[in-house]
Amino acid sequence: MIVGLDIGLKRIGVAICVNGVILPSTPLMRQNRKQAARDLDAMLKEKNVSKVIVGIPKDGSCQDEMTRRIKHFMNLLDTKIEIIFVDESFSSVQASHKTQEKAIKSHKNGHLDSLAACEILRRYVEGANEL
């Protein structure tokens, strides 16, 4: 199984790819980095994940800072699973367009983050360039 992640400061959007079908999964809420890393480690082991696709911002004013934070967070994981970074530019915007009528609720419960993770995973599956 392949998992896609949209890592934010409050939530981690999660998507899974099983037999070529990409689906949003329950997002992980972040209280702090160590707790989030433990929760993510447990989820990756539970789902028997073979590869993790992580969105990294390629453009924008906070690109370097967020990229550093995301890579630091991924280094906290206690796993040997292959981690691949891909461009996440506009993944949240595309996810938001898919849920415009529910945007406020989706944002608060993390569903939008998991839809963004679906977009990140879709880009990888369709052959988008790795970073």
Query: What CATH number is attached to the domain comprising 31?
Result: 3.30.420.140
- Judged by DSSP in three states, 57 sits in coil
Domain count for the chain, please give it.
1
Confirm whether 59 is domain-assigned. yes
Range of the domain at 74: 2-95+108-129
Residues 6+ apart with CB under 8 A from 78: 37, 41
For residue 101, being part of any structural domain is answered with no
Residue-level pLDDT, tens digit, the chain, 131 residues: 999 999 998 999 999 998 889 999 999 999 999 999 999 999 999 999 999 999 998 765 566 788 899 999 999 998 889 999 998 765 554 445 455 544 444 445 567 889 889 999 998 998 855 55
Q: At what angle do helices 91-98 and 111-125 cross, to 10 degrees?
A: 120
85 within a domain of the structure (yes/no): yes
User: Residue 100 falls within a domain, yes or no?
Assistant: no
Q: Identify whether 65 is part of a domain.
A: yes
